Structure 1
Amino acid sequence: MAERVLLTGATGFVGAAVARRLLADGGCELICPVRNDAASVPAAAQAVVCRDFAVNDGWQAALQGVDVVVHCAARVHVMNDNEADPLAAFRHVNVAGTVNLARQAAAAGVRRFVFVSSIKVNGEGTAPGADYRADDAPAPQDPYGVSKHEAEQQLLQLAEQGLIEVVIVRPVLVYGPGVKANFLSMMRWLDRGVVLPFGAIDNRRSLVALDNLVDLVITCTTHPAAANQVFLVSDGEDLSTTQLLRRMANALGKPARLLPVPAWMLRLAATCLGRKALAQRLCGSLAVNTDKTRTLLGWTAPVTVDAALKATARHYQDSLRK
């Protein structure tokens, strides 16, 4: 365990879980940069106000004595981006902000920089029977993926110069207690008994439970073999959309009311409605190969898919009772 860790994004879905795990494991002093004084971080952590990572060069005090930086903060992918120039907005936060922090960390003598990136650096989907690997040629297709790729490239340049060790982790879709967006919508549909036309989708999707992602990130803070490497992470079990819905319904204790509508028909309907990207996520495949992660680090996912789905469902149902 590193003695002093600076963690960005500690108020977010992934960052908050990393903070809880670091503090629960003990033996770590945790520093959490936040946007304003009102931001909530764990009581045992030290909050440092930083409103813009891209232009702030006053990191010396916060980084003093830090062993590892874990960078979870980012401008995240959104379905309907209202920015006039989305790529510029993503680059400001995800590239300039990341690289500025890494340079400041290197100047302060920080040993390692762990960057939570995205599978979108690899691309948007895999062909049937194929999967992404950590060392594949990147092929990002949207502004978010492009910004994450550019950040990775500049971080690895710092590593090549011997200024700081860099570890890059590219998660697939992350789910767990408190998950939002499409995964939350899926739980709501199932919980309410909505009949869904997703009973005949034969695709392959890799997912990663929040606890599994956090476990790998923590491993990457200290493992000697992680230095200057890129890792993909998943639960180790790929599911079709149909399988996921059935197992999520089981976790909720509800029946899965699924109609066997052919995938080609769903794609056609979605295209006509201007929802082609949604159809790709529901009907297309995105599978990853984590052999490198398991072989180089000796890492395996500690939480099974069903256990993680049950924890996610329990949190969702508890939230409805409040």
Structure 2
Amino acid sequence: MKVIITGASGFVGQNLSEYLVRNDISIQSLSLRKEWNMDNNADTIIHLAGKAHDTENISADDEYFKVNTELTKKLFDEFLRSDIKDFIYFSSVKATADSVEGILDEEHVPNPKTPYGKSKLLAEQYLVSKDLPKSKRLFIIRPCMIHGTGNKGNLNLLYKIVKKGIPWPLAAFENKRSFLSIDNLNFLILHVLKDKKIQSGIYNFADDDFISTNQLIQIISSVSKKKSRLWYVPTRFIDLVAKIGDKMKLPLNSERLKKLTESYSVSNKKIKKALGINRLPISAEGGLAKTIKSFQVK
């Protein structure tokens, strides 16, 4: 089996490519930054390339639509003209909801608020609007927050806070969040590639269990062999500090505070039902612990 991957140099692309190669799948990287031609002998295209969500809100809106929407359209049109059978598009849960009440599933009516989410949704809408030949499959994957060995971002920020013995001042925020271990992502993609009985559609990718930020702090503390220090500072005071951070470009701003404390629970029942499984290989806690341990390697 030969698979074309766009965005293969990114965190997900590198990990997925290595995993698929270990499972006897041939990988071809396709860069969309210059003129490109698609290998018509490939079996599948996995479209990972895109402009990620900018938490500091300094990117121009049109950049998201140029990369996430228009490039996806062009690639999908080429796919439809080719003999390639499967197209796997990595969208985002942010294409359907920026905040979640209850548990997010694939039946949620999309209503993104950010240029990032809107650009992803427009790409989705274009893909499903095209006539798909019966011989082809289209998968729109909506992952939640992806993490894994070597991955940076908010998890690394939390790790540094705990390692230094700094108290966690956001313990008063009660939340439940979904994460996605890169190992579970790789597992799911491999099975989608190999199981031709799985039908086209939109699928959420998330770990099985929901984790609160306080639980996450405790996981980090356990891995780091540090005592967890949870401070229950009033939420109103923290909100005020974040607003000041917006204006003064401080590490804690409203966007980052939201990411750290909001509830965002995502259902993965649809993809597990399609695969005929009850649980993913790695638990949410186990996957997070593995990622945190990777931060300790110098």
Tell me which residue corresponds to 2:78: 104
Deviations 1:240-268 (A, max 9, x none): 11111111221222222221223344234
Q: Cα gap change, 1:263/1:205 in structure 2, threshold over 3 Å: closer, same or farther? A: farther
Alpha carbon RMSD of aligned pairs, Å? 1.9
| Alpha-carbon distance, 1:201 to partner | 2.5
Alignment match of 2:188 (pick from 211, 216, 225): 216
Q: Aligned ranges for residues 151-170 of structure 1 at < 5 Å? A: 151-160=123-132, 164-170=136-142
- The count of corresponding residues between Structure 1 and Structure 2 is 291
What displacement does 1:318 show? 0.9
Shift of 1:271: 3.1
| Counterpart in the other structure of 2:28 | 31
Q: Which residue of 1 aligns with 2:249?
A: none
Which residue matches 2:66? 92
Partner residue in 2 for 1:51: 33
What is the Cα deviation at residue 168 of structure 1? Answer: 0.9
How far residue 298 of structure 1 moved from its aligned partner, in angstroms, is 2.0
Structure 1 match to 2:215: 243
Match of 1:22 among 2, 20, 36: 20
1:277 aligned counterpart, secondary structure: helix
How far does the alpha carbon of each residue in 1:160-200 deviate from its partner, in whole angstroms, 9 at most, with x for none? 46584210111111111111121211111111211220223
Task: Decide whether aligned partners of structure 1 residues 162 and 93 sit closer, same or farther in structure 2, where only a CA change above 3 A counts.
Answer: farther
- 1:114 touches 1:221 (CA, 8 Å); kept in 2? no
Matched position secondary structure for 1:183: helix
The alignment status of 1:6 with 2:7, answered yes or no, reads: no
| Residues 1-322 of structure 1 mapped to structure 2, 5 A cutoff | 3-26=1-24, 28-34=25-31, 50-52=32-34, 56=35, 58-59=36-37, 62-83=38-59, 86-127=60-101, 130-160=102-132, 164-274=136-246, 275-299=253-277, 300-319=279-298
2:167 is paired with a residue whose SS is coil
Q: Which AA in structure 2 matches 1:223? A: D
Deviation for aligned residue 1:227: 3.1
Residues 44 and 86 of structure 2 are in contact (CA less than 8 Å); yes or no, is this contact kept in structure 1?
yes
* Cα gap change, 1:177 to 1:294, in 2 (>3 Å): same
- Against the structure 1 CA distance between its residues 164 and 157, is the aligned structure 2 distance closer, same or farther, given a 3 Å change threshold? farther
Segments of structure 2 that go 5 or more residues without pairing to the other structure are 247-252
Amino acid corresponding to residue 309 of structure 1 in structure 2: L
| Secondary structure of 2:130's aligned partner | helix
Maintained 8 Å contact 1:122/1:132: no
Identical columns (%)? 25
Structure 1 counterpart of 2:231, which letter? L
**CA shift in 2, pair 1:281/1:111, >3 Å:** same
Code of the aligned partner of 1:32: S
TM-score relative to the length of structure 1:
0.84
**8 A Cα contact 1:17 1:210, kept in partner:** yes
Where has structure 1 moved over 6 Å in runs of 4 or more? Answer: none
Hey, what does 2:250 align to over in structure 1? none
Equivalent pair of 2:178/2:206 in contact (CA under 8 Å): yes
AA aligned opposite 1:7: I
